[in-house]
Amino acid sequence: MNFGVLKNFLVLDLSRFLPGPYCSMILADHGARVITIENNFIESDIYGNPESINRNKEHMKLNLKTRHGKDILLKLVKKADVFIEGFRPGVCKRLEIDYNSLKKINPGIVYASLTGYGQTGPLKDNAAHDLNCSGQGGALSLMGFNDSGPFIPGIQLADISGGLNTAIGILLALLSREKTGNGQYIDISMTDSVTALLPIAFSHYLDYGENFVCGNHNLSHKWAWYNIYKTKDNKFLTFAPMEKKLWTKFCKNLNLHDYIDLQFDIDNCDKIKEHLMKIFITKNLNEWMKLLRQWDVCGGEIMNIEDILESENSLKREMIVRIEGYERPLIGIPIKLSDNPGSIRTSPSSFGQHTESILKEIGYSSFEINSFKEQGVV
């Protein structure tokens, strides 16, 4: 059976929370063997238990502040392809597991550091979570409405974009290693990753010398043709006939001929929005979806998690996956490769589940393993 492009690659993941584990999930989904290494379990009601990010992985408990713990890690590093860490700058150097230390025993190691502000710059030593990086990176300035100020989005922009960029960086470094034989160091900042999401806002500022106004720019509530509308059954739809031909088609189907040439008329945009609000509230969501898709004018549903779990599209696209022996559904794999696709092979691992089997694999006896447990090494 083909287990993905990254089969036979070994990844050691020392990161915590969401960004790094999200990255290693991507690698694991596409065949890499991922060993998550942690010392203490973090019990958090904040993140809950995002179990999808722990699938396809092994989990090892290891105290790196002990001599034996570090020796065990270095044994794994000798055979590893990728090393991921999410500590603040300087921590790994103090533990003597920084890139310069590890490349001495494994010149081919691809070493990725994922932090809030990166390894350089005046903010590098500051503590940060997703919210801080999303603000510092510029994304929050584009969310919300001008009279109420920015709001916090319901997804973790910095965490996820940081994890994605780390995965991309690792794949690029592995490709480079195929040519040169050498590994390399990857410095990923969650804040940088958010800033990289802003090409449209960036271009607007350079063109006009002004920042977007919250809730009132081209792709955020300003125009009638790119907006969110409430339906009769108290649900919401997205509406985005940006192209002139689509806007024209929509207007003709609803006998709104006077609005065709007013698509970009700033003096009439509020009037048109108000009119469309009154129109969309007259039918239920499903009725509008049937019409908008029949007219092919870029209409869509706003779905919550319950909707997605039952969505024919999500199920057909295998974005909701169930595996044997695990009662809860998992989020699927968005990257669909034709020849060697990724797969969800194992359920999320529990804390320290594979510690003993990994130690035995690298040569430790049962007596030594019990001794490590008594000493707090594992």
38 with 150, same domain: the answer is yes
Amino acid (1-letter code) at residue 239: F
172 with 26, same domain: the answer is yes
Report the distance separating Cα 19 and Cα 165, nearest Å. Answer: 10
Residue 323: alpha-carbon gap to chain centroid: 22
Report the distance separating Cα 131 and Cα 115, nearest Å. Answer: 13
The answer to whether position 206 is within a domain reads: no
Q: How many domains does the chain have?
A: 2
165 with 248, same domain: the answer is no
359, 378 Cβ separation under 8 angstroms:
yes
331 with 287, same domain: the answer is no
Residues contacting 247, CB < 8 A, separation 6+: 225, 241, 260, 263, 297
Which single residue is written with the structure tokens 């794999």? 333
Specify the CATH number for the domain of residue 296: 3.30.1540.10
289 with 331, same domain: the answer is no
Residue 250: alpha-carbon gap to chain centroid: 35
Task: State which H helix or E strand residue 360 sits in.
Answer: helix 355-361
99, 28 Cβ separation under 8 angstroms:
no
235 with 363, same domain: the answer is no
Distance (Å) of CA 98 to CA 68, 89, 158, 293: 18, 10, 24, 54
Q: What is the pLDDT of residue 356?
A: 97
The answer to whether position 41 is within a domain reads: yes
Report the distance separating Cα 377 and Cα 93, nearest Å. Answer: 20
39 with 187, same domain: the answer is yes
- End-to-end CA gap in the chain: 33
CB atoms within 10 A of CB 201: 19
Structure-block tokens of residue 129:
């979570």
37 with 184, same domain: the answer is yes
Q: Angle formed by the axes of helices 366-375 and 67-79, to 10°?
A: 130
Q: What is the pTM of this model?
A: 0.94
Number of Cα atoms under 13 Å in the Cβ half of residue 175: 7
Residues contacting 103, CB < 8 A, separation 6+: 109, 111, 183
104 with 15, same domain: the answer is yes
15, 21 Cβ separation under 8 angstroms:
yes
Q: Considering only CA atoms, which of 362, 356, 369, 368 is closest in space to residue 76?
A: 362
Picking from 257, 282, 307, the residue at the C-terminal end of a domain is 307
The set of long-range contacts for 171-179, using a CB threshold of 8 Å and a minimum separation of 24, is 173/110, 173/112, 174/9, 174/81, 174/82, 174/110, 177/108, 177/110
Distance (Å) of CA 129 to CA 133, 159, 278, 306: 6, 8, 41, 28
DSSP 100: H
Per-run averaged pLDDT (10 residues), the chain, 378 residues: 86 95 98 94 61 94 95 98 97 96 98 98 96 96 88 95 98 98 98 97 93 87 96 98 98 98 96 98 98 97 95 96 92 95 94 96 96 95
What are residue 295's phi and psi, to 5 degrees? -80, -15
Q: What is the pLDDT of residue 330?
A: 94
Report the distance separating Cα 160 and Cα 178, nearest Å. Answer: 27
269 with 328, same domain: the answer is no
Give the domain extent around 272: 227-307
Q: What is the pLDDT of residue 149?
A: 85
Specify the CATH number for the domain of residue 83: 3.40.50.10540
